[in-house]
Amino acid sequence: MHVLEFGAVGEVYNLGGGNSRTNREITEILLAQTGRAWETHVRHVKDREGHDRRYALDATKARALGWSPRHPFSQGLESTAAWYHKNEDWWRPIKSGDFRSYYERQYAHR
Summarised one tens digit per residue, pLDDT across range 14-43 is 998 888 888 888 889 999 988 888 888 888
Q: Is pLDDT above 90 for 9?
A: yes
Q: Is pLDDT above 70 for 65?
A: yes
Higher pLDDT, 8 or 17: 8
Distance of alpha carbon 16 from alpha carbon 64, whole angstroms? 13
Q: What pLDDT, on a 0 to 100 scale, did the predictor assign at position 110?
A: 67
Percent of the chain with pLDDT over 70: 98
Percent of the chain with pLDDT over 90: 41
